Amino acid sequence: MGTKGIEIVGMNVDELVTMLNKAFADEWLAHYQYWLGAKVAKGPMKEAVIAELLQHAADELRHAEMLTTRIIQLGGTPVTTPKKWFDMTNCGYDAPDDPQVKPLLDQNIKGEQCAITTYKKMLQATQTGDPVTHNIALQILQDEVEHEEDLQSLLEDYDVMMKSR
């Protein structure tokens, strides 16, 4: 906890920490969803899909690290138990129960779109009150926008390939 670092925050710090913890829960759930999706994936183009999902899983874990660092800087406590992830999450968790490539891509695109909405809101909420969190939200948002596009272009390729069969 840095006293001057907290003093310059021009918004309610508890609310800010809660917002960060909710996103932190999202990132862990997304990390696990994508990581497990990569393990179970089946069907056409699975090699490309697995590579992308593993990359995204690593990015979501990095996002969780960025958020937890900020939570601690603000004197907050990162969610201490995975059970609470489900109470805190904005975007939920879609189990990869159907391991076929298309449903996996659909699920994960939905997850990325929810993440984009979450970080857009965080950007707006911190616009004037907390430049440090604002900057973190911007960096993560850039990754989530890239993730959505990566998955949608894989889905496009998949659809083209299935039509030409």
Which residues of the chain form contacts with Fe ion (CB under 5 A)? Answer: 27, 60, 63, 112, 144, 147
> 42: which strand partners?
100
Question: Using CA atoms, how far apart are residues 150 and 165, in angstroms rounded to an integer?
Answer: 23
Alpha carbon of 26 to those of 9, 47, 111, 115, 164: distances in Å?
24, 26, 9, 8, 37
Nearer to Fe ion, 101 or 108 (CB): 108
Nearer to Fe ion, 6 or 110 (CB): 110
Minimum distance from CB of 111 to Fe ion (Å)? 7
Minimum distance from CB of 165 to Fe ion (Å)? 30
Which tokens in the block code for residue 66?
Answer: 């960025």
Minimum distance from CB of 138 to Fe ion (Å)? 13
* Strand, helix or coil for residue 100: strand
Nearer to Fe ion, 22 or 147 (CB): 147
